[in-house]
Amino acid sequence: MNAEIIKRKLAEYYNQVTPEQVVAEFEALGVEFVEILEFSEIQFDLALPLSPEFNNGFESWAEDFLVKDQMAPITSDAPKFFPSEGAGNTQYAMAA
Amino acid sequence: MKEDVSISHLRGWHGTEEKDAEEILKVNFEESLGDTHWLGNGVYFFTTGVGAPLSHALNWAKSEANKRKITRYAILNAEICVNKECILDLIENAGLDIFNEHREFVLRQIRLQKKAFKIPNEEYSDSKVIEHLKQKGGVEVVVCNMYVRFLKDRIEKIRSQIPNCTFLCVSNPSENITPDTITIVARGNI
């Protein structure tokens, strides 16, 4: 697989297609649609609040589960586990 | 002669009814079209990966024979030659990311039109997204680990989400499957 080439072709498509065209293309593939009465853009944003608040039960469980001294906040030169995710995530890297 | 490194040579095993296998030997494979294909339209092969592809093809032929009342099966083997940039590998995370990003994109566009898919069996909505991705991304071969419900599982009513085989779905078989390489490697009574 050459992922970069496929991604480039898809990016070109994403940049020029309209929602109407996407619907028409799927109709051409035989897909039927149902109407959604009220549209609301749902943000599937992976970003978590910087200081998530857990209930006490979870914090207690997390205390037992996580080995805190092996985790350190990401710094600019540390490897990221999820480099593609956007800003705002709580990210951690293993301490050296 | 120098090997063209941009081309991947893949091997696939395909189980079917014996008389259909004989026909394929004469005229090459034809794309299977429909709404209920896991990875969109194409020719489906078991390939090297999870489990033994020859065994899977045999199991598949016998499982389908039970449904279609056929008495003789055959297993075909073929070489698929395809440009690497036309392969979507859903075994790799990079391939899964491409698929998931494409699905998110198209579903978002469809929602903007105040619409949603109406598909009787939701399991097959992936099929339509993959078919669309193939067209827009220039993809001709999809590789994927999947769970296939063979006859034994059907009888015992077992379902799983853990893949038990690896599939190749090949579009445009006249271009991507070399007719000279198609052979019947096994045949017999069901």
Q: Which residues of chain A have a CB within 8 Å of the CB of B113?
A: 19-20, 22-23
Q: Which residues of A touch B135 (CB under 8 A)?
A: 25
pLDDT above 90 for B64: no
Say whether the ipTM exceeds 0.95: no
Give the closest-approach CA distance of B131 to chain A in angstroms: 8
Model confidence, pTM: 0.77
Nearest to A36 among B85, B111, B143 (CB): B111
Per-residue pLDDT at A83: 47
Chain A CB contacts of B139 under 8 Å are 6
d(CA B174, CA B171): 9
Which range of A78-82, B3-7, B70-74 scores highest in mean pLDDT? It is B70-74
pLDDT class for B78, splitting at 50, 70, 90?
Answer: very high
Instruction: Determine which of B115, B118, B133, B140 to mutate to test the interface with A (most A C-beta atoms within 10 Å).
Output: B115
Cβ contacts from A onto B, under 8 A: 95
What is the C-alpha separation between B137 and A4, in angstroms, rounded?
11
Q: Is the pLDDT of residue A92 over 70?
A: no
Local confidence band at B37 (pLDDT 50, 70, 90 cut-offs): confident
Question: Is a pLDDT exceeding 80 seen at residue A88?
Answer: no
Query: Which residue is associated with the tokens 């097959």?
Result: B124
For residue A68, is pLDDT > 80? no
pLDDT of residue B65: 79
**CB A36 to CB B116 under 8 A?**
yes
Q: Cβ contact (<8 Å) for A3 and B87?
A: no
Name the strand (E) or helix (H) holding B74: strand B72-83
> In chain A, what percentage of residues exceed pLDDT 70?
39
pLDDT band at A42 (very low <50, low <70, confident <90, very high): low
Question: Between chains, do A22 and B109 touch, taking CB under 8 Å as contact?
Answer: yes
Q: Is 60 exceeded by the pLDDT of residue B161?
A: yes
Neighbours of A77 (CB within 10 A): 6
- Alpha-carbon gap, residue B88 to B140, rounded angstroms: 8
Question: What is the distance of C-alpha B11 from the center of its chain?
Answer: 12
What are the chain A neighbours of B104 within 8 Å (beta carbons)?
44
Q: How far apart are CA B128 and CA B116, in angstroms?
A: 13
